[in-house]
Amino acid sequence: MHSQKLAPSALSPVYPSLITNTTGGPLCPWTLGQDRSLDAWALFERCDGQHLFLTQFPGFDGEALVQSLYDRLPLVNAPGVLASIEQEDRQALVKLTAEQWQKRLNNDDSPLGENDKLTALVELMPLRFVDQPLSRRTLLGNVDKNGAYHAGLLSSCEVLVIPAEGLLEKPSRWFMVKEALKRGYIAFSGSPIRIPVCCKVVILGDVMDHDTLHAVDPSFAGLFSLVGESQSEWFVDKEEDAQRWALGAQSIAKQYCGRPLSDEALTRLARYASRLCEHQGRLSLAWHELGLLLGQCEGSGAVSLAQLQQAILAQEARHNSVEIYAQRNVEEALVRVDTEGERTGQINGLTVVDYCGHSYGEPARITVSVHYGDGEVADIERKSELGGNIHAKGMMILSACLYRIFGQDEPLHLSANIVFEQSYQTIDGDSASLAEYCCLISTIANVPVKQGLALTGAIDQFGNVQAIGGINEKIEGFFHLCRYRGLTGEQGVILPRANTRQLNLSDEVIEAVAAGQFHLYQVDAVEEALMLLTGREVGQADEDNRFDEKSLYGLVQQRLDRMAGNDEPLPPSWWRRALDALFDRS
């Protein structure tokens, strides 16, 4: 069992020199990594009667993906025609391919009668995105008083792309689409004309939209049997992967700001994209979000590192008003958080606040009190209805971990209260369970912990420390407070070893770590964190499950024994009492 101090080189991703000038030509960014969508589109093009649901994710342009898929594999070489054939007192509407239309005009195929009239009502669009509010009229069209049909979306194109929210907003729209696709035609009451459905349909939405539509109508999957799931992250397993992403980034830069990226700006954008994924080995494919950021870069010519950095900082500054207020409250001691010295039963946890598309880290003071009781570890957040279900689960796991070590042979005769001090909003997640456990041990053993160290991590019943989210924001939040008060060289953050691949910290944190002013420690087990916090050996249990009296767990065991009354001497046996009485008489 050991802990390890992280080196500065491990605190951010390192990419090879990204090459921007290649002989391979431009790369379409929208289809990069979208193998599932490409496969689904190929089936969509080949299989009649099977329609497609494409998923998208925040920061991604689903319509750009569809356009790229169609450009790569169009469903038709030339769009067809919705035609009207009038024969004496009858009229029929048919969909004709471009080739069939030309043959009909030339009377080469199914020649028309002398009095028959062939008219093109609508020249079908090859690909159409919904560009108007969905309604019965816009979807199906309408027949006017003179009996003339005015085409709706379903009869005006070869491929129609519908946003899922338009169908979910009013489910009756979905049932209109369903009946039309199922029957292959549209019929209006009072009119004998059947209008053919000319298109295949793509629905754009997220995975929740797909499940909701399926819940609304279980037959949904029968029509939309093809699903293409968009991938939000690009895995960088080898150098060529990074280069392919770089080509896509250059294409996005030209689309959104009309300028290429310098090599330095490209590397910085890759680092920014990696942070969006919270993983050093992945790059975000949220091209629309990245493109909007590049569009905010000032200047002309190639986008420079300084211009991109300024755009990133300006974007953060426009969203961080709540963060600044929270930092000021801690700095001015309106919210109490200690960053020096040692305290018993008090520890610095780390939280993440998400609002308005912005996330920031905030230290939280966690305290624990213990007293004689029935073994309950009470979560005050939960009792006050400020704790979520996942946080409650973390507290139960914490209790199980404590009982695994100290309550195997008999119940614990203590109760504990754990609370996030000065917290007035809902808390959820299990990322504070490591801090809460260490604070509980500190209180029971009456051993102080270092206030210059904050920690984050989830634990399991066996005391293993598990990965959590928002690691970068948490570390930076505590670092900003320590820097404001003055870095002492003793401050730092304890984090799960499993989170080291998620590190993508700001330059100021990395520089402080390199200078020895701030430290990051990775741990695998709760015992490693306790050693760092207290400077004491935790101890190993012997065959009787007893710990050395001078170890940290030994002190915990002694306190629990006193609460249970096990430290009192045993009463003398009957023969000892008889002997004592005999000698007293003599």
Domain ranges of the chain: 35-79+124-228, 234-317, 328-562
Mean pLDDT of the chain: 88
What would the mean pLDDT of 410-422 be, rounded to a whole number? 84
Please give the radius of gyration of the chain, using alpha carbons only, rounded to the nearest integer. Answer: 34
Question: Token pair of 13, please?
Answer: 């991703």
Question: Measured between alpha carbons, how far is 246 from 165 in angstroms, rounded to an integer?
Answer: 33
What would the mean pLDDT of 159-183 be, rounded to a whole number? 94
Provide the β-strand partners of residue 63: none
**Active site annotation includes 423:** no
Q: Is the predicted pLDDT of residue 585 greater than 60, yes or no?
A: no
Q: Is the predicted pLDDT of residue 201 greater than 90, yes or no?
A: yes
Question: Measured between alpha carbons, how far is 81 from 63 in angstroms, rounded to an integer?
Answer: 24
Question: Measured between alpha carbons, how far is 222 from 202 in angstroms, rounded to an integer?
Answer: 14
Question: What count of residues does the chain have?
Answer: 586
Q: Is the predicted pLDDT of residue 1 greater than 50, yes or no?
A: no
pLDDT in tens, 374-405: 777 766 777 777 777 888 888 888 888 888 88
**Active site annotation includes 474:** yes
Q: Report the pLDDT value the prediction gives residue 347, as an integer from 0 to 100.
A: 95
Residue 11: count other Cβ atoms within 10 Å of its Cβ.
21
Higher pLDDT, residue 517 or 541:
517
Q: Is the predicted pLDDT of residue 567 greater than 50, yes or no?
A: yes
Pick the catalytic residue from 95, 178, 450, 474: 474
Asked if residue 244 lies in contact with residue 34, where contact means CB atoms within 8 angstroms, the answer is: no
Q: Residue 143 — pLDDT band, cuts 50, 70, 90?
A: confident
Is domain 234-317 given the CATH code 3.30.420.40 in the classification?
A: no
* Annotation: CATH topology of 328-562: Ribosomal Protein S5; domain 2 (3.30.230)
Question: Token pair of 438, please?
Answer: 């260490």
Pick the catalytic residue from 431, 433, 442, 450: 431
Question: Measured between alpha carbons, how far is 327 from 337 in angstroms, rounded to an integer?
Answer: 11
Question: CA-based angle 262:264:268, to the nearest 5?
Answer: 115
Q: Which residues, at least 6 apart from 9, have a Cβ–Cβ distance to it below 8 Å?
A: none
Question: Measured between alpha carbons, how far is 329 from 313 in angstroms, rounded to an integer?
Answer: 22
Q: Report the pLDDT value the prediction gives residue 574, as an integer from 0 to 100.
A: 62
Is domain 35-79+124-228 given the CATH code 3.20.20.70 in the classification?
A: no
Nearest to 382, CA basis, from 396, 397, 363: 396
Q: Residue 41 — pLDDT band, cuts 50, 70, 90?
A: very high
Pairing of strands 518-523, 149-151: unpaired
Question: Token pair of 25, please?
Answer: 């030509």
